[in-house]
Chains A and B, each alone.
Chain A
Amino acid sequence: QSVLTQPPSVSGAPGQRVTISCTGSSSSIGAGYHVHWYQQLPGAAPKLLIYGNTNRPSGVPDRFSGSRSGTSASLAITGLQAEDEADYYCQSYDSSLSTVVFGGGTKLTVL
């Protein structure tokens, strides 16, 4: 059971918009700790996609965006492409556990 809760799977057709939610608690996201998102392509290491809730590292397309509100955060992907098919993980910090915490991951399928 992950400290951060994500839907196991989402799907969308090419060109569509999808969102992935990440729900934490008052000791993690709700306490103001930053949320970061990672993309893991099949057979590859995770790659930082969004950091500090809303920021994109250099080279990440602006089709990817992040937001945070209260005890939750979201990753939005617009203009879906086949190459976006991957697992996506959110990550934050939990002060009651004093640990970095990950969501359970969401598998994105491009139909």
Chain B
Amino acid sequence: QVQLVQSGAEVRKPGASVKVSCEASGYTFASYDINWVRQAPGQGLEWMGWMSPNSGDKGYAQKFQGRVTFTRNTSISTAYVEVSSLTSDDTAVYYCAKEGRGRNLDFWGQGTLVTVSS
């Protein structure tokens, strides 16, 4: 069965960076794009961007360009998102999601809470 397992909760100070991992299993990792979505406390879903594990091609929502980086390690079927210059507005649960046909997100990780606090 398809599973996306994310790394554990993180606490960072303002101005620092954080890197969250997403390990995929149960399907061919290289064959489907990974999307990243975040959700601030009590708020809705916010799309951050996508990455092709096969080619390394990626796209970022304009809001995150220059401050967010997607990478992957195909040998261990793992995708990563790194967010730099953190502020309290980046406090959120970060989700990775496998993209199915038609740009739907058919399987999601369990989420990683990132807390930014001084």
Contacts and interface: CB of A to CB of B under 8 A. Distances in A.
Contact of A100 (B44, B103, B107): B103
Interface in A65-104: 89, 91-93, 97-104
Contacts of A100: 35, 47, 50, 103
Contacts of B110: 45
B108 A34 contact: no
A102 B44 contact: yes
**Interface residue range, chain B:** 20 to 34
Chain A contact residues (Cβ within 8 angstroms of B): what range?
Answer: 20 to 34
B61 A45 contact: no
Contacts of A92: 103
Contacts of A51: 100-102, 104, 106
Given A45-B108, A47-B108, A105 B45 contact: yes
Contact of A48 (B62, B95, B105, B109): B105
